[in-house]
Amino acid sequence: MSSFKYADRLKFEKLFDMGGGYVLWFSNRTFRDFFISTVDIDIYDGSIADNSLSKANLLRAFWEKADDKQITIVNRELLKIWVDATQEKSESDLSLYDECVLINNKLSGMMLVKNISALRSIDADESLDTIIADIKHNIENNKPELTLDRLHNYLVNYGRKLCDKHGIKYSSNNTLNTLFGLYNKWLHDHELLESNMSSKIIGSIVKLFDDFNYVRNNESAAHPNPLLNKIESMFIVDTICSIIEFINKIEDVLSDTAKTTTEDDDPLPF
């Protein structure tokens, strides 16, 4: 039985223009050929539904009865056909297309943000925990564009806590990129990065976060802006979570090193 939600199906129906019984530009013959070549199913053999039904109703029956793997394969190929064959695409069309892509990715079991678990508090902080919960909620509900402002808030708080942890001085009006610039300088001053590549990655984060300031101010829900599209929003969230995961690992290594050093410096117990 399919776990393809009815509300999500309606979005695909709208994109594929199924209101009149059709599906995109398929004829009966090409619709049969499409299903056979895509999932090796003859949509007109009666196994899915009465073969006298319209193409739209046959697709609806397939969405109801097929397994999620088959559905995601068919949906993916239909989305490719739509994007390749649609000559004029409005902003609302593209927004709907992006939403359908993300729905299909989620249905396929694809983890939309690989390192979402990287979002964590350095210390007990209910406000930061609330921000993290909001971010995860919006990702789970296919609204990555609504996470951008909250993710920026998280990073500013996280950057300040990193500075506090290591005694790095900053001011309350320091921007996101400035906070991580200070952290980057602290790492270099203490020669804590062994790899030249790691050093370059940390340095590039400062520039990325400067760009993220622009996204937050001009393409997020922080202000009355046109929101960034879902695909790019998800890409930004995924990228930033990977960056945070990298910094978390640095911090874990530093904590382990500090603990080992302290234990080694303790006097022998005899």
Instruction: Give residue-wise pLDDT tens across range 259-268.
Output: 665 545 543 3
Q: Report CA 182 to chain centroid distance, whole Å.
A: 28
Question: What is the C-alpha separation between 26 and 55, in angstroms, rounded?
Answer: 8
Please say whether the beta carbons of 187 and 222 come within 8 A. no
List for the chain the helix, strand, coil content (%; round to 5). 65, 0, 35
User: Does residue 13 register a pLDDT over 50?
Assistant: yes
Instruction: Give residue-wise pLDDT tens across range 211-224.
Output: 999 999 999 988 88
Tell me the pLDDT of the chain averaged across its residues.
87
pLDDT of residue 254: 82
Question: What is the C-alpha separation between 24 and 81, in angstroms, rounded?
Answer: 8
> With b meaning 16 or more CB within 10 Å and e meaning fewer, what string describes 124-159?
eeeebeebbebbbebbeebbbbbbbbbbbbbbbbbb
Please say whether the beta carbons of 202 and 193 come within 8 A. yes
Confidence tier at 270 by pLDDT (50, 70, 90): very low
What is the model's pTM?
0.64
